[in-house]
Amino acid sequence: MKVLPMSVHDTAVPHIPVVIIGGGQAGLSVSWYLSRDGMDHIIFERHKRFQSWRENRWDSFCLVTPNWQCRLPGYPYEGGDPDGFMLRDEIVEYLDGFNASFDPPVREGVSVTRVAPLADGCYRVETTAGVWTCGQVVVATGGYDQPIVPPYASAIAPEVVQMHSVDYRRPAQLPEGGTLIVGTGQSGVQIMEDFHRAGRDVHLAVGPAPRSPRKYRGRDATDWLHDMGHYAITIDRHPDPVKALTQTNHYMSGRDGGKEIDLRRFAVEGVRLYGSMAGAEGTQLRFLPDLEKNLDDADRSYCGIRDQIDSWITAQGIEAPVEPPFQKVWRPEVEVTQIDCAALGITSIIWAIGFRPDYGWLEVDCFDPDGRPLYRRGVTQVPGVYFIGLGWLNTWGSGRFLGIDEDARYLAEQIAAQALIGAQAAE
């Protein structure tokens, strides 16, 4: 970590106690607590606040978790459908309402290009709108900076249109013909359903993502899990923290009031399934022979959640309707490991395999050798540097509307404590 000399921190550069980088729900949640406590701060947002919700979601996008889990600071969901799932525009309306509830100090259209420590313990923050210094920095940029596309994508024939899920809005964007969706996280399976409902020819490369029940024994599965304390488990008490941090989110859907996504049923209805995509050359696409394993693993997760709920119901003596046992409605007769786009009429590919964060602008020693930030509950070992809005920052809800309030409140407390230490040291 390069420490800039004291001379860089001079009176010509404006100083503010706290800089928050990122104007999404996580950054604004920290701002809510700082505003409440009268701590001066500023938020730099490179686009518009809530940009990813406004611009980077497809037309039919809706929440996967019920509306009652939207609990931003001082602004819980109070609409008429707590068990429903807000659509994209409704989510934006909810977030705009949260923003209007306290008027946070957001500077939109300002990108942070560098954060570097100063010799006096402060930080130099370089932006496209000028330079500031600050005592503390909150990184609230999330983990969705760089869309992931595999290297072999460049070897695919140019007549096959390629698109990342971040740019997808509706099936009509893609040319007529078959579409291959790569990835079965929440985005991949919901985009797959979008195409299927539109009557398009759909192919799906099935990865190792787990799946979850939606409605089970009379209630949404997330309601049962909340009552069971599942969402209150912290990462330091998780039985398998490595798995928690690296596993793709369970897939299900909030569409049409909420439903399960069973890929086997889609196969019965004509969606063609393959294993994980492994490579490509021209119009030839290759897949691993892991389709059945991935389907079985997803079902094992699904049944495991059902079993946990069953055990809870029994232990609590709750009267609840009984569900029929799970049955596999389809299995692959053969593992197809290579296809020809031209022969099958596949004219487009959508990559739904995630994103990578970009912290290249943060010149602070708070990363592991692989570039992942190191922290406990968002607090790094570097005084005055924090992260928020990442999955399992503390609990399952940390990267979601459910847990941001708790995380933001905790960070605001740490920021206040650090400010007091700095004030005492200056005396």
pLDDT in tens, 241-295: 988 888 888 999 999 999 999 999 999 999 999 999 999 999 999 999 999 999 9
Burial class (CB in 10 A: 0-12, 13-18, 19+), 287: buried
The angle at the Cα of 28, spanning 22 to 34, to the nearest 5 degrees, equals 115
pLDDT at 258: 96
What is the mean predicted confidence (pLDDT) over 164-180?
98
* Predicted pLDDT of residue 390: 95
Residue 144 has pLDDT above 90, yes or no: no
pLDDT of residue 3: 58
Tens of pLDDT, residues 283-334: 999 999 999 999 999 999 999 999 999 999 999 999 999 999 999 999 999 9
The helix (H) or strand (E) run that includes residue 17 is strand 15-21
C-beta separation of 49 from 108 below 8 A: yes
Q: Mean pLDDT for the chain?
A: 95
Return the domain boundaries, the chain.
6-145+357-426, 150-351
Residue 425 has pLDDT above 90, yes or no: no
**Helix axis angle, 88-100 to 25-36, nearest 10°:** 20
**pLDDT value of position 7:** 46
DSSP 39: -
pLDDT at 422: 81
Tell me the pTM: 0.94
- Give residue 247's pLDDT: 86
CA distance 247 to 407: 21
Provide the pLDDT for residue 349: 98
Domain covering 6-145+357-426: architecture = 3-Layer(bba) Sandwich (3.50)
The answer for 132, left when phi > 0, alpha when psi is -120 to 50, beta otherwise, is: beta
Query: Is the pLDDT assigned to residue 105 strictly greater than 90?
Result: yes
Mean pLDDT value of segment 92-103: 97
Cβ atoms of residues 294 and 206 within 8 Å: yes
Confidence band, pLDDT 50/70/90 cuts, at residue 340: very high
Q: What is the pLDDT of residue 8?
A: 47
pLDDT of 421 above 90 = no
Q: What are phi and psi of 277, to 5 degrees?
A: -70, 140
- pLDDT beyond 60 at 1: no
Give the model's pLDDT for residue 149: 98
**Residue 355 reports pLDDT greater than 90:** yes
Q: Using an 8 Å Cβ cutoff, are 185 and 352 in contact? A: yes
| Residue 143 clears pLDDT 90, i.e. is over it | no
| 402 has a pLDDT exceeding 80 | yes
Lowest mean pLDDT among 152-161, 202-211, 241-250, 373-382: 241-250
The neighbouring-strand residues paired with 355 are: 147
Q: How confident is the model at residue 10 (pLDDT cuts 50, 70, 90)?
A: low
Whole-number Å distance between alpha carbons of 28 and 98: 9
